[in-house]
Structure 1
Amino acid sequence: MYKILKKEVLNPTVTKMVIDAPHVAKRAKAGQFIILRVHDEGERIPLTIADSDPDSGEVTIIFQIVGKTTMLLNELEEDASLADFVGPLGQPSEIEGEKVCVIGGGVGCAIAYPTAKAFAKAGSDVTTISGFRNKDLVILEDEFKAVSDAYYLMSDDGSAGEKGLVTQKLEELIQSGEKFDKVIAIGPVIMMKFVCEVTKKYGIPTIVSMNPIMIDGTGMCGGCRLKVGDEIKFACVDGPDFDGHAVDFDGAMSRNRAYGDFERHERDAACRLLKKEVQ
């Protein structure tokens, strides 16, 4: 069993947990993920490792409360335990580049942060751009500032940082003369698609982190397949990082929508269960 050591509400829909998982913490690298089960009969869900400490054995996860399992996970408090916490899985991010731009969108910032931190530790010049709908959804602002040479906070409505999209700030920086060796974009698929459209115009290599539907995390089920160039890749074993200019984003978005009705049914069932327990 994997004990929850700390729990923190980052915003109304996003929660941070620190888990006691020494074997994961010793091997975890930026970009990798875990698969957990809340209880013995629960479904398996992937969550990116937001941080880890090999000395203390602690692993940090940050998740958005969007479906049945994340709702049930969010009901757990400190000192409760998870049934499974398997990892690290996936390929670590390649930390190469003298000057890089890391872009995070929404809860994707939980994945972008360890990447920015790893680049900073490697001595790279790190520019970070994070984007949110509004100020109430902002997470990890101080953490990003601590590992970035330059940090830009964007919000759709202008209530936090600058008003605008992360793509607007990226293009503004490029046009002002910034020379990035690499851009790393992590967040909603549609955001990563438009970031790649910007960087392709300027010939800047771009890496995206793909997190499609996963089941076993070992490449056996094929649920996380996506098209990259002329090849079919599996995000759980070949990724989650891929060449953004080669990813079929439209296909990925179509596959992500395929289970929408099922997910809504399971979420509604979880809501009824939790409501019944409260009563």
Structure 2
Amino acid sequence: MSPGDEQGYGDPVRADDGGGYGYGGSGHTRTRLPDADPYGGARRPGRSSSRSLVTVVGVVVLLIAAIAFANRGGDDSSSSTDSTEAKPKSASTAASGTAPVGTQKAAIPTGYARDAQGAQSAAANYSVALGSAEMFNTARRHEIVDTVYAPDVAAARQADLDTAYSSEKFLTNIGLTKDGTAPTGQTFVSRVIPVGTKVTASSAGKDTVEVWYTSLFGLSGEASTNPVSESWYTTTYQLKWVDNDWKITDFQQKDGPVPVGRDQRASTADDMTKAVEEYGGFTYAR
């Protein structure tokens, strides 16, 4: 067992084979040094001005089309064919109108409804907690695991995680000190941001929920050799209804889907640190 086995847990780099980031249950870590200082304002190779012009024109055309489409709302002259066509359904993660959960334990939302909506909200919120930097603090980690896992699973997970998170070699590989904190002058970032959820199986008291999310992991600081980077994953949770709430019994993780990256300048270490300190996370409940 290693932190790599833990859902949503950062993007600790592996030390055995030298390549990208990942934390999907391999139990190894590696360090990938940046080719250039990402906080020095390095930009990806620029594109031609003609291509930039085409992009701008394309965006303007799409915007005009969107406005025109929106203005059609009051047009009664639509053909009978238009009126009989099936309208697109709302996304599975659209607002339901149901009030969010009103209770919490260990600062994690709890008390979800025993339905598909409740299971998805639980899985999303548990992803955020398990992927947070707080997992590197022993006391806080115990609270999180006891809250999100089923009682018959939590005890075993605690022992495994304590061993993994206290590994000096592991902590060194990801740039942290022996006590799991960031070096002086740097800020440790570990966040999971759910993008979407769906229930893939459901039976009496058991639901399987997939959470697609992006994660931020690394050290923000001028001297960082493990700068904050972005990764994309999908984790499938096995949830069980225990003591009037959804709890995790198991999970599997895979890479992606991964979107195409935009041609944007990397932020400075100072901007990244301020963003992490000033922007809090969300509670995902619908």
- TM class by smaller structure: under 0.3
Structure that is richer in strand per residue: 1
Q: Please give the TM-score of this superposition, normalised by the length of structure 1.
A: 0.25
Q: Kindly indicate whether structure 1 or structure 2 has the higher relative contact order, using CA contacts under 8 Å at least 6 residues apart.
A: 2
Q: Which structure has the larger Rg?
A: 2
